[in-house]
Structure 1
Amino acid sequence: MNNKEKKLQRKSAPKNSTRMVETIYGCKWSLTVYQLLAHGINRPGEMVRNVEGLSTKVLNQCLKKNIEFGILDKVVFNESPPRVEYHVTEFGGKFLGILEQLEALQEEINNN
């Protein structure tokens, strides 16, 4: 069989990236957290105060998942009282760009 006759194999999504997207979209607060970070709100207490219905427990679960995937980074300052901030990683910036493309695609679909 030469290159022109070569059959294509079924393409499947990478397991880790698929799980990441499903997990992030499955958490209704992740997109809100990204929006808060984009507006310079990066401390957990500020996040909870700025979003009605967001609890500290749920926020911590959401932040933990995002850290595990490498989307967010946690910075702990050695101060009293302790201060914690969250920031989007370089990989997270790329991932958020993909999410923006998905949103744009959905808008295009909705407008047709």
Structure 2
Amino acid sequence: MRSSDAAKLARILGLLGSDQAGERAAAGMAAHRLVTRLGLRWEDILGPPPKSPPPPASPSHDALAAAQSRLRQSIRENADLRRQITRLQRRLEVLHQRQPPPMADAED
């Protein structure tokens, strides 16, 4: 129920305390018509409020342990890759040093 409809229903129901029997009867009918027009039942309005959804669950201990394990594995893989890169760079440097310098064109 929208807040504007709830406010209107509250105003109508306030008239049930009237000293005039006709006013009380009219308020009861108006309230019933409003509830019906909204497609609701009195049980929907007077029942307990709907339960709010539970808060999102925090990661379980297993999920946290799995994430930490994956992080450690990634760190090891990165270290291995860095070692491979260093090794390849050294090999390239050695190969580059072994190559004779390009010969300059002989000028006449």
TM-score (norm 1): 0.23
Larger radius of gyration: 2
